[in-house]
């Protein structure tokens, strides 16, 4: 929400919407980075960790926001982006000046190898991870854009600086951190080439930068020196983790993090080699969810999400954003919210916001769209139309169009010109249309949140998958002592039949929630309509 008409959402805009957020039932707000930044990557390139980005407001605005959040009984998580800084951070400005600058070793500098980059790694936003710097004739490492140089965590001074930043914000009274690509901070110090599949321009950096040799030492140190002295929560963003690896981060006795965001689900329909979307394989999706539910059971705690600022909108992705928009949005929400873990809702998800299709490449804002265009279309000659299709499906800007508050100008987001166009469907999909409508997606989310708060079984119950091989229905149970919850979701627009398992007495159940307002009448067999879901409880 933009409070001052400059087209950019801001802190005071958030304050205006705190009642809305509270009313939805939210306990904790996670803010993407709001620190000072030249905004090469929407704030994930920080030039001063103790200041607020001019466009978003001042530190006084921040203090007021925090007070207002706490006043309403909610909490605030800030984004901690310390794998890299902006190249405009004072440390980097110093670091690049000379080889003997005291900040030189805050970053990762390497000599050229045979006149080329030190290794073959490709950066996440396209191009090489290495940028040659004229001043000292050496390369620096950047796993993301070249304006995001990676910090050198091998240097104890870097770790001390990070600890001081974390302490500074915790002393201000915030309630924890979401830690950006936190499992990338420890790199294989040999910096070997990564595997390079046929047809790719660069090698894969993941095996040598993710879950690296000293990662647990660094996280334990941060925890011991700072986090453990506060009553706060942490969630690490961790690409390339399995439940076994995740346990090392979130295991009860590990003293590292409380939760991680895993990516196995997010990669399920994405063909990284051909940059296309694969049809959803429901059996695979169920397997992945189940692996995580069982994998961390009584060992750690799951984070549950369909969406965030990097992912396409779930109703467009795994649902049907046309004739079954409302039904499929509710079904997807149910499927996720009834699982064990902490559900995260990304702005607009609660009103079923959809992907966007801009005809013109220049209407996009995300750096990865443009860098990807260079690599894929200009160098590798992928067809322009095929690339556009790819970004329609996967661009991060799908998630970043302005929040749709109402059907008026610019969806009520700003009185000015928004920094990125609003989704043209804002006249029908917006908060104002849904807030008074009992049957809306928004009020359905509210009910789901309430159900979790009122039913211990949703929090603590053990999860078990039913109908493992069914191609259309995702059904599972949650069990807590003699209580049982049965969650049944039809992921297709076909009618599909659910048969009660023999070992569960169907006579004992009643409806807890359903997206067709269906009352369960002890049937042994349920005919499910398109995208129908129902949760039963005994």
Decide whether 44 or 191 has the Cβ nearer to ligand NOJ: 44
Catalytic residue among 55, 180, 321, 350: 180
Calpha distance 320→323 (Å, rounded): 7
Active site residue 472: no
Tokens 């007495």 belong to residue: 505
DSSP letter assigned to residue 377: I
| 56-65 contacts, C-beta under 8 A, 24 or more apart | 56/8, 56/9, 56/10, 56/11, 57/10, 57/11, 57/12, 61/10, 61/11, 61/12, 61/15, 62/11, 62/34, 63/172, 64/15, 65/11, 65/12, 65/14, 65/15
Decide whether 144 or 292 has the Cβ nearer to ligand NOJ: 144
Q: How far is the CB of 307 from ligand NOJ (least distance, A)?
A: 12
DSSP letter assigned to residue 17: T
Active site residue 45: no
* Closest residue to ligand NOJ in the complex (CB): 44
DSSP letter assigned to residue 203: B
Catalytic residue among 237, 310, 326, 532: 237
DSSP, residue by residue, 133-182:
ETTTTEEEE-SS-TTSPBB-TTSHHHHHHHHHHHHHHHHHT--EEEETTG
**What is the crossing angle of helices 282-295 and 243-250, to 10°?**
30
303 with 235: CB under 8 angstroms? yes
Decide whether 125 or 218 has the Cβ nearer to ligand NOJ: 125
405 with 413: CB under 8 angstroms? yes
Burial of 19 (0-12, 13-18, 19+ CB in 10 A): exposed
Residue among 471, 533, 498, 477 at smallest CA distance from 282:
471
Cβ neighbour number for residue 437 with a 10 Å cutoff: 10
Site for ligand NOJ, rule CB under 6 A = 41, 44, 81, 144, 180-181, 237, 309-310
Residues designated catalytic: 180, 237
């Amino acid at each position: 929400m933009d409070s001052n008409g400059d087209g950019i959402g801001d802190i005071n805009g958030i304050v205006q919407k705190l009642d809305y957020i509270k009313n939805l039932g939210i306990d904790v707000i996670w803010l993407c980075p709001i620190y000072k930044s030249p905004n090469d990557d929407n704030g994930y390139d920080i030039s001063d960790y103790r200041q607020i980005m001019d466009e978003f407001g001042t530190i006084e605005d921040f203090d007021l926001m925090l007070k207002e959040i706490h006043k309403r009984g909610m909490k605030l998580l800030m984004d901690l982006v310390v794998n890299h800084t902006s190249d405009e951070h004072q440390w980097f400005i110093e670091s690049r000046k000379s080889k003997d600058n005291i900040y030189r070793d805050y970053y990762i500098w390497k000599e050229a190898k045979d006149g080329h980059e030190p290794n073959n790694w490709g950066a996440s936003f396209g191009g090489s991870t290495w940028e040659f710097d004229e001043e000292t004739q050496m390369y620096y490492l950047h796993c993301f854009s070249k304006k995001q140089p990676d910090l050198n965590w091998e240097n104890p001074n870097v770790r001390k600086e990070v600890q001081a930043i974390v302490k500074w914000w915790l002393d201000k009274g915030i309630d924890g951190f979401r830690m950006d690509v936190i499992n990338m901070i420890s790199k294989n110090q040999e910096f070997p080439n990564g595997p390079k599949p046929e047809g790719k321009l660069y090698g894969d950096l993941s095996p040598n930068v993710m879950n690296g040799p000293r990662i647990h030492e660094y996280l334990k140190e941060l925890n011991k020196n700072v986090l453990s002295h506060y009553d706060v929560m942490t969630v690490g963003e961790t690409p390339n983790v399995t439940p076994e690896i995740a346990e090392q981060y979130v295991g009860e006795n590990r003293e590292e993090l409380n939760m991680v965001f895993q990516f196995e689900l997010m990669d399920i329909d994405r063909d990284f080699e051909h940059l296309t979307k694969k049809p959803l394989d429901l059996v695979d999706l169920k397997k992945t969810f189940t692996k995580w539910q069982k994998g961390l059971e009584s060992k750690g705690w799951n984070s549950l999400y369909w969406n965030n600022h990097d992912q396409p909108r779930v109703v467009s992705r795994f649902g049907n954003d046309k004739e079954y928009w409302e039904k499929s949005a509710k079904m997807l929400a149910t499927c996720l919210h009834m699982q064990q873990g902490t559900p995260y809702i990304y702005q607009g998800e609660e009103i079923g916001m959809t992907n966007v299709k801009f005809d013109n490449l220049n209407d996009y804002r995300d750096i990865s769209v443009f860098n990807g265009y260079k690599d894929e279309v200009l160098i590798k000659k992928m067809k322009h139309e095929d690339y556009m299709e790819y970004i329609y499906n996967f661009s991060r800007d799908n998630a970043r169009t302005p929040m749709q508050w109402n059907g008026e100008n610019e969806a009520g987001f700003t009185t000015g010109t928004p920094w990125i166009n609003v989704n043209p469907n804002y006249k029908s999909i917006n908060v104002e249309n849904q807030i008074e409508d009992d049957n809306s997606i928004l009020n359905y989310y509210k009910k789901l949140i309430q159900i979790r708060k009122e039913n211990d079984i949703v929090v603590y119950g053990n999860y078990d998958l039913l109908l493992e091989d069914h191609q259309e229905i995702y059904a599972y149970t949650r069990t807590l002592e003699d209580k049982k919850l049965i969650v049944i979701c039809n992921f297709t627009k076909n009618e599909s039949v659910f048969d009660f398992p023999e070992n569960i007495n169907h006579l004992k159940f009643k409806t807890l929630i359903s997206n067709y307002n269906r009352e369960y009448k002890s049937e042994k067999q349920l005919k499910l309509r398109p995208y129908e879901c129902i949760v039963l409880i005994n």
